[in-house]
């Protein structure tokens, strides 16, 4: 277990593990996993601006169609656990190739849906197929980048995947308005097929030699599909450290959903906007903020780790990376609280402009928090980084899937201002948890050791 007393001594043999790939190869691998993450993000968020049109075409209410978004979050949670668990046996490359067919078939199923039951089922299959994109991507980054390089690499990964937050809603809204939401999902299926071909032809296995379960089989001549309990990753959450950062990421990410999921019913209704393409365009400032935040947070978290190592005279304390989340932890509650009040009390172009600034600030703040938390998970659970990340993401998704189903009813019952203020208060609680973890993280890790990494094997 790493602690504040861990010496900064990394054996040369361990350093050599990260030299298996040349710098240009690492960049190519990072591009690959980022592109898969972009596709996954695209699949998730293009659905939001098309919900009113889907409700109209299938003769459903808006609240009922929002269940399809909630179930996609649930599918993301289940899929992340399964894919990450099997990646520790077969490797990331194989699991990427297994997931893509589910995405492609599910996308075609969504496009053909003629009822709520069909829509929910195929939306689940679609999201299940790409559910491992983020957790596997973080695992791959942990395989090829050293401790003090991971924050920057994760920042690059986040920034590329979060282009989906910027562009996908606008494209989804435009496709819904001027083309067809069904054709949009056929296009996603084609994109998934192309990505599967790229992975098959040029993506290498990045896991450290001899660490995969399949490497330890005495005979590999026959097909061997072991039973791996996908819920075993959740057992990592018995660690107070892992569960604490999971809860923080949930409370912070929830503000994003509270702002974005009901856009058509908040900003759209308040400022008289009904065009799906324009509503989708309101995701652009939030996505741009996420893009900028990811780039800043990656380098910032690496810088914080290096500076605190110097202050500790070479000792490594994993929780130092979480200090980089402070700025975002202040921006997030301010931005969502302000948006709720602005939407309620300020109309016209001024109110609309201020809301756009709040959307940008929220995207910036959320990623300034999520990046250090994600890198922290990879640091403390290096050998099981994909599983630790998946456990946090799955738990976060399960909680969020329930929470998103309550957003529109909450707005209808309490109004936009109170709904956003409640989300802001929860985000403040999350920041308090971060502070607690930074201060007492050493004791928390000592209380329940789930196989934390040390500086010698990180």
Mean pLDDT confidence for 403-430 = 90
Q: Which of 266, 417, 258, 255 is nearest to 352 (CA)?
A: 266
Token pair 């899929």 is found at 79
Per-range mean pLDDT, top range of 19-33, 42-56, 172-186, 331-345? 331-345
Q: Measuring CA to CA, which residue among 161, 196, 135 is closest to residue 34?
A: 161
Provide CB contacts within 8 A for 22, sequence distance 6+: none
- Please determine, for residue 307, whether its predicted confidence score (pLDDT) is greater than 50: yes
- Tokens 């000592």 belong to residue: 446
Instruction: Answer whether 131's CB lies under 8 Å from 99's CB.
Output: yes
Spacing of C-alpha 174 from chain mean position: 24
Orientation angle between helical segments 240-260 and 326-345, nearest 10 degrees: 30
Give the pLDDT score at 4.
Answer: 44
- What number is the average pLDDT over the span 162-175? 74
* pLDDT score, position 9: 42
CA dihedral 263, 268, 271, 276 (to 10 degrees): 130
pLDDT digits (tens, 9 = 90+) for 317-370: 888 899 999 999 999 999 999 999 999 999 888 999 999 999 999 999 999 999
- What dihedral angle (degrees, nearest 10) is formed by the CA atoms of 426, 430, 432, 438? 180
Give the model confidence (pLDDT) of 94-134 as tens digits.
889 998 999 999 999 988 888 888 888 998 999 999 888 88
Structure tokens at 161: 């995947």
CA 32, CA 372: separation in Å to the nearest integer?
22
Report whether 168 contacts 188 (CB < 8 A): no
pLDDT at 277 over 90: no
Identify whether the C-beta of residue 59 lies closer than 8 Å to the C-beta of residue 162: no
Tens digit of each residue's pLDDT (9 = 90 or more) over 389-412: 878 887 887 787 778 778 888 888
- Average pLDDT for 424-449: 91
Q: Does pLDDT of 2 surpass 60?
A: no
Q: Are 356 and 282 in contact (CB under 8 A)?
A: yes
In the predicted structure, residue 136 carries a pLDDT above the cut 80: yes
Two structure tokens written together for 443: 């004791």
In the predicted model, is pLDDT for residue 14 greater than 70? no
The Cα angle at residue 282 between residues 279 and 283, in degrees rounded to 5: 110
Given pLDDT bands bounded at 50, 70 and 90, which one contains residue 457? low
pLDDT at 1: 42
Q: What does the pLDDT read at residue 11? A: 46
Q: Is 359 exposed, middle or buried (0-12, 13-18, 19+ CB in 10 A)?
A: buried
DSSP string for 395-409 = HHHHHHHHHHHHHHH
User: 1.10.645.10, 3.90.1170.50, 1.10.579.10, 1.20.1250.20: which CATH number matches 12-208+233-457?
Assistant: 1.20.1250.20
Report helix angle 348-380 to 283-311, nearest 10: 40
Distance, CA of 176 to CA of 185 (rounded, Å): 11
> So what's the pLDDT on residue 430?
93
Q: How far apart are CA 181 and CA 187, in angstroms?
A: 10
So what's the pLDDT on residue 117? 84
**Above pLDDT 70, what percent of the chain?**
89
Phi, psi (rounded to 5 degrees) for 316: -110, 125
CB 8 within 8 A of CB 455: yes
The pLDDT score that the predictor gives to residue 10 is 45
pLDDT at site 205? 81
According to the model, what pLDDT value does residue 224 have? 62
């Amino acid at each position: 277990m790493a602690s504040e007393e861990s010496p900064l001594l990394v054996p040369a043999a361990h350093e050599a593990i990260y030299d298996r790939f040349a710098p240009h190869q690492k960049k190519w691998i990072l591009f690959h996993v980022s592109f898969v993450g972009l596709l996954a993000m695209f699949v998730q968020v293009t659905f939001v601006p098309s919900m009113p049109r889907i409700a109209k075409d299938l003769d459903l209410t808006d609240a009922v169609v929002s269940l399809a978004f909630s179930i996609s979050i649930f599918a993301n949670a289940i899929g992340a656990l399964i894919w990450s668990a099997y990646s520790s046996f077969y490797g990331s490359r194989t699991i990427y190739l297994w997931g893509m067919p589910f995405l492609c078939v599910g996308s075609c199923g969504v496009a053909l849906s003629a009822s709520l039951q069909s829509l929910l089922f195929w939306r689940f299959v679609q999201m299940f197929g790409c559910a491992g994109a983020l957790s596997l991507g973080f695992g791959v980054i942990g395989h090829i980048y050293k401790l003090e390089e991971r924050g920057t690499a994760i920042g690059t990964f986040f920034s590329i995947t979060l282009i989906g937050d910027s562009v996908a809603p606008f494209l989804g809204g435009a496709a819904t308005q001027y083309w067809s939401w069904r054709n949009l999902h056929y296009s996603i299926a084609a994109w998934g097929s192309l990505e599967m071909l790229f992975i098959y032809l040029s993506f290498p296995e990045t896991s450290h030699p001899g660490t995969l379960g399949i490497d330890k089989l005495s005979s590999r001549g026959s097909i061997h599909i072991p039973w791996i309990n996908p819920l075993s990753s959740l057992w990592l959450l018995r660690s107070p450290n892992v569960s604490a950062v999971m809860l923080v990421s949930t409370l912070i990410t929830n503000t994003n959903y509270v702002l974005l999921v009901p856009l058509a019913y908040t900003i759209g209704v308040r400022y008289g906007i009904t065009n799906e393409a324009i509503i989708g365009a309101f995701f652009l400032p939030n996505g741009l903020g996420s893009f900028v935040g990811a780039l800043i947070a990656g380098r910032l978290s690496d810088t914080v780790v290096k500076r605190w190592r110097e202050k500790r005279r070479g000792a490594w304390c994993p929780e130092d990376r979480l200090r980089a989340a402070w700025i975002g932890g202040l921006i997030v509650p301010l931005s969502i609280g302000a948006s709720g009040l602005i939407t309620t009390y300020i109309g016209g172009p001024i109110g609309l402009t201020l809301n756009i600034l709040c959307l940008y600030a929220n995207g910036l703040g959320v990623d300034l928090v999520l990046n250090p938390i994600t890198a922290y998970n990879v640091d403390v659970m290096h050998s099981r980084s994909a599983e630790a990340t998946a456990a946090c993401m799955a738990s976060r998704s399960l909680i969020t899937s329930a929470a998103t189903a309550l957003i529109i009813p909450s707005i209808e019952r309490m109004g936009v201002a109170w709904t956003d203020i409640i989300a802001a208060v929860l985000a403040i609680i999350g920041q308090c948890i971060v502070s607690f973890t930074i201060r007492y993280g050493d004791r928390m890790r000592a209380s329940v050791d789930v196989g934390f990494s040390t500086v010698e094997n990180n």
